[in-house]
Structure 1
């Protein structure tokens, strides 16, 4: 067959088009390594090897491929949970943006109801104590008529079974802590801890020495009696004690001055106004008509406080020094709160730290 000049030209153009087409496909199928990375993948230090894809494609026929429209590469959240090269992941098409839903509006009926926690009040146990030397105070004035009873203790009661003492009617306990400016009752820490574990309301008392400065004694008490939530107000015990090494009896003015210094310092530290414990003779000589805005704890083991301390308001009455109870081997001081069970709960809520 004879080729004309036009035929020769057409054959040459077809050959050139075939070469150009093969070169463009090779460039599409063999891209170089991407320079884009996410913060979750650290770029490796060594170079990434590339395969000779062109030679592999020439060795095998190219498959027929349908070219999809270009898609936006998804972004990954920043994290430092792993490092190093990771296997490539297929690129999935991103879903179309969903319309933003309007926030639900809470109607008044759907609003959460906030309830205040109920105040937990300890159970009050009825008095079941006995007395080695019972006193007939009269039916109307008997401590048995009072609802809430308790005890005060020191080292002289030895080891106490606080659970048994509680069941006998000890709803509160005042525990001897300190004397003067350098003495700590050796049973204080044990009694303080175990009374609380048994569920009693507890407080600490200090026996005041007239031979030491009030500031020293306040510092000593604060050093040894912890400031804890729920504790009863601290007590200052002021009385004459012939068995003490300190036999000094200061003037009434000096007594009031020293007591005020001590009580003010404790009130600043604990946030509670101290209770004053005293006996009839000391009260008569020093405290009658004084400290009217303080709570008093009065010793009256032969007559009602109303007769022994006329006109004086009181909170606690120590009515016996010869109480008997399961939980204590020897005798124990018995006390009563001046008021009803409801009055007791209100007083504790108001005065406790």
Structure 2
């Protein structure tokens, strides 16, 4: 027999090819139909303007909280109005005259910060015996159209006849049910005596009360009230000017209804600073004060 052929070293070291098996393709994972609504809802929330509005509102509230650290929570700065506002009072308003120029009442009514908005306005009508405010008719017509409750006021001149001033005022002001009571603004003696001032003022308010069926409101400064009016007109509602204070410091039992607490407010739609006022009571008290 011929000798058996021995394998070479190269053949011994060469590995045998491994048997391969054909792999089956991996099965595709079936998606859970219930996942689609969940992702859809999340996407809709993230894309919704309401979501971003909520985020912005939260950010704004947090920023305002940081800015208000250290301030009295009942007398803090309202940056839109550019004044501090006593927040214990819930019904706020302004008083205007020719000094504020032409007013965009729609913008006034639309302005709001942290639930503070303009709900009433006292509007100057007349002064003395001859002067009619040039913007009165327009303000008296336009402000109620946007839902602002209005009251008209007369700037009183103590040297002039009080009855004639009342007649002049009523000739120019047509008051209706739902209006605030008429206001007499008394701030100075004009060189007359306190006794004569009170005499003419009494004539004025008695005539207004007779013809409107409601006691007029007396507007004055805190010092003028204490010096000349305290104890003489206690049954009449008062509107007191006393600026940049946390509270109106009046004696208990004083019949004040309105407080003019600032003269430097900024209001949308008005190009000049404005007096800012607060009503003492709640919405029911405010409603009961209106003319019938």
TM-score (norm 1): 0.56
Alignment of 1:31-180 (within 5 A): 130-132=80-82, 134-135=83-84, 143-168=86-111, 169-180=117-128
* Counterpart Cα distance in 2 of 1:162 and 1:321: 19
The residue aligned with 2:55 is: none
Deviation at 1:178, TM superposition (A): 0.2
* Counterpart Cα distance in 1 of 2:246 and 2:240: 10
Task: From the superposition, tell whether residues 272 and 328 of structure 1 become closer, same or farther in structure 2 (CA, over 3 Å).
Answer: same
Query: Is there any run of 5+ residues in structure 2 with no aligned partner, and where?
Result: 1-76, 112-116
The residue aligned with 2:291 is: 352
Match status 1:270 vs 2:212: yes
Query: Is there any run of 5+ residues in structure 1 with no aligned partner, and where?
Result: 1-126, 136-141, 241-246
Count of matched residue pairs = 210
Q: Deviations over 1:228-286 (max 9, x none)?
A: 2221100000002xxxxxx7332222222111100011111111110000002211221
The residue aligned with 1:228 is: 176
The residue aligned with 2:228 is: 286
The residue aligned with 1:86 is: none
Match status 1:199 vs 2:138: no
Q: Deviations over 1:145-175 (max 9, x none)?
A: 2111011000111111111111221101100
Displaced runs of 4 or more, over 3 A: 127-132
Question: RMSD in angstroms over aligned alpha carbons?
Answer: 2.0
Match status 1:181 vs 2:129: yes
Q: Give the structure with the larger strand fraction.
A: 2
User: Which of structures 1 and 2 has the larger relative contact order (alpha carbons within 8 angstroms, sep 6+)?
Assistant: 2
CA radius of gyration, larger in: 1
Match status 1:339 vs 2:287: no
Residues 242, 248 of structure 2: 8 Å contact kept: no
Task: From the superposition, tell whether residues 238 and 326 of structure 1 become closer, same or farther in structure 2 (CA, over 3 Å).
Answer: same
* Counterpart Cα distance in 2 of 1:301 and 1:340: 22
Deviation at 1:314, TM superposition (A): 1.0
Match status 1:218 vs 2:160: no
Residues 235, 255 of structure 2: 8 Å contact kept: no
Deviation at 1:180, TM superposition (A): 0.1
* Counterpart Cα distance in 2 of 1:194 and 1:213: 31
The residue aligned with 2:239 is: 297
